[in-house]
Structure 1
Amino acid sequence: MRPSPRRALQALDRFNAAHPWDHNAHYHRWMLRQLPRRFGSALDVGSGTGDLARLLATRADHVLGIDSDPAITSRARALTPEPARISFTVMDARTDLPAGPFEVITCVAALHHLPFTETLHAFRSRLAPGGTLVVVGLYRPATFTDHALGAIAAPLNAAAGWFKNRSRRAPRPASTTARTRPADMPFTEITREARTALPGTHLRRRLFWRYTLTWRRP
C-alpha cells in the first residue's frame, strides 16, 4: 500500500527535525557577493549570534549588530574573537535604529517581525549615498508560483539537511537567532510596498521559503 500524502509529509517533517540546518546562513555568501570588496560601516539588523556580522567584518572597517534579545546578543559577543571590528547592542528595531549613516545595511529573517514599510523608510534614511541594503526575508505563500517553489524546496531541504549533518555524530542546531514567527505578507505585497518605498529595488523569490531584496541608494 502506498503511503498517503499526509503520512509522507509527516515523515519528511520528522526527517527535517532530525537533520536541521540554517536556512538563513545558506544565503550569507550570496549577500557578500552583493557588496563592495571594502566598505566603511555596516549595520546588521537582527544579528542573532553574529554569524553574518563576523563575515561582514572581513570587509568592513566596523560592523554594528543589533538584536532585541539580550541572551542572543551576549552569545554573539562571546563568540566574537578579540580584537574585532564588531560591536553588538541590544536594540529593538521596531522602535529604534542607530542614526548612521551606514555604507551597508543587512537584515536576515527579521523584517517580517517589523512594520514593513516604515522599516524600509528607516533603512533608507540611515543608508549613506551609494550604500547598499541587502535583505533576506520570509514571505507567506499565496500564489501558484509560491507553492510550486515550496514543493521543490521540500525534498531539497531534506537533502541539504542530510548532506550538512552526514559527517557529524549529532546534528548541529539549525537556529542562530531567536525563534521566528511565520511571515504574514505575501511576496506580491512585499514587492509592491518595497518598490514604492525604495524605487529601483530588486526582489526575487528564493528556495527554502525566502526572498531577497537588494537596493542601492543613489
Structure 2
Amino acid sequence: MTILPPRLLKALEQFNAARPWDHNAHYHRWILRQLPRRFATALDVGCGTGDLVRLLATRADKGVVGIDSDAGIVGRARELTPPSTPATFTVADAPGGIPEGPYDVITCVAVLHHLPLGETLAHLRQQLAPGGTLVVVGLARDEDYVDHLLGFVSIPLNLLMGLVKNRGRRTVVRPVSMTAVTRPAVIPFGDIAGEARRVLPGVRLRRRLFWRYTLVWRG
C-alpha cells in the first residue's frame, strides 16, 4: 500500500475496520468478463471461502475445483456451498499440490504473492487446457510513481466504497473471506511483469485500483 503519514494511516485503518469490504471480491465480476460464457472445468487457487468458485460453477459444465492450504477455511467453503453446486474443495499447497488438470479456466486471487512466482506460473500453465484462460488478481509492492499515484487515488475511492457497501447496516459485517492470514507483497510490479512475460508469452498485465494488478493469459 502507498506509504502514508502514521496518523492518516491509522485513521484509514479505523475507517476500514468500521466499514469493511472485500477488495478481492470486488474483482470477481471483472474476472467473469474475461472468461467464456460456458466452459467445462475450472480451478481456483487459494479459494478461501469459495465465493469465486461458486460464481465459476454457474458456467462450468463439468465442475470447479477450489484449493486452499487452510483446512479450516476449506471446511467453511464446503459449508457455504449448496450440495447441488458442481464444485469440490481440497486442502492443498500450491503449486505442487494442485490436482492434475487440464482446466479450461484457472483463477488465482490475492495468492500469487505467497508463492514462488515463476514456478507457480509455469505450473499453472502446464495445468491449463489448450485454448484455456488464466486470470490472476494479485498484489505487488509499491515501487515507482505510478504505483504511488494509483495508491493515493485508491484512498478516497476506498472510503467511498466502504460507505456504499455498508450503507444501511447497523452493525459491522466483516466478510468471512477476509479472515484468512495475509502478508504484504514483496515483489514490485515491474519484476512480476518481467517474469510473467518470460513464462507466459503474450500475457496481458495491468496495474489496478485498490492496490491490485491483473494478469490474463490464454493458452
- What TM bracket, shorter-length normalisation? over 0.9
Q: Classify the secondary structure of the residue corresponding to 1:141.
A: coil
Identity over aligned pairs, percent: 63
- Which residue in the other structure is 1:197 paired with? 199
1:188 correspondence with 2:212? no
Alignment correspondent of 1:179: 181
RMSD: 1.1
Q: Distance in 2 between matches of 1:19 and 1:213?
A: 29
Task: Encode CA deviations 1:59-97: one digit per residue, 9 max, x unaligned.
Answer: 002000000000000000000012110000000114321
Q: Which runs of 5+ in 1 are unaligned?
A: none
Whether contact under 8 Å (2:49, 2:176) holds in the other structure is no
Return the letter of the residue paired with 2:152. Answer: A
Q: 1:183 to 1:175 in 2, by over 3 A?
A: farther
- Secondary structure of the 2:160 match is helix
| 1:71 lines up with 2:69 in the alignment | no
Q: Is residue 44–residue 53 contact of structure 1 (8 Å, CA) maintained in 2? A: yes
Q: Does residue 89 of structure 2 align to residue 88 of structure 1?
A: yes
Three-state SS of the structure 2 residue aligned to 1:131 is strand
2:43/2:105 contact within 8 Å kept: yes
Q: Secondary structure at the match of 1:147?
A: helix
TM norm structure 1 = 0.95
Q: What is the 5 A alignment of 1:25-104?
A: 25-61=25-61, 62-104=63-105
Counterpart code for 1:180: T
**CA distance in 1: counterparts of 2:10 and 2:86, whole angstroms:** 45
Post-superposition offset of 1:175: 5.2
- The CA deviation at 1:18 is 1.1
The answer to whether the Cα contact below 8 Å between 2:68 and 2:93 also exists between their aligned partners in 1 is yes
- Equivalenced residue count is 213
**Gaps spanning 5+ residues in structure 2: where?**
none
Please give the secondary structure, in 2, of the residue aligned with 1:157: helix
- Which letter does structure 2 place at the counterpart of 1:192? G
1:213/1:175 CA distance change after superposition, 3 Å: farther
Distance, in Å, in 2 between the alignment partners of 1:104 and 1:8 is 40
Amino acid at match of 1:194: A
SS of 2:216's partner is strand
* Secondary structure, counterpart of 1:98 in structure 2: coil
Q: Secondary structure at the match of 2:177?
A: coil
Other structure's SS at 1:176 match: helix
Shift of residue 13, structure 1, vs aligned partner: 2.3
Structure-1 residue corresponding to 2:149: 148
**1:22 and 1:175 in contact (8 A); partners too:** no
Deviation at 1:152, TM superposition (A): 0.6
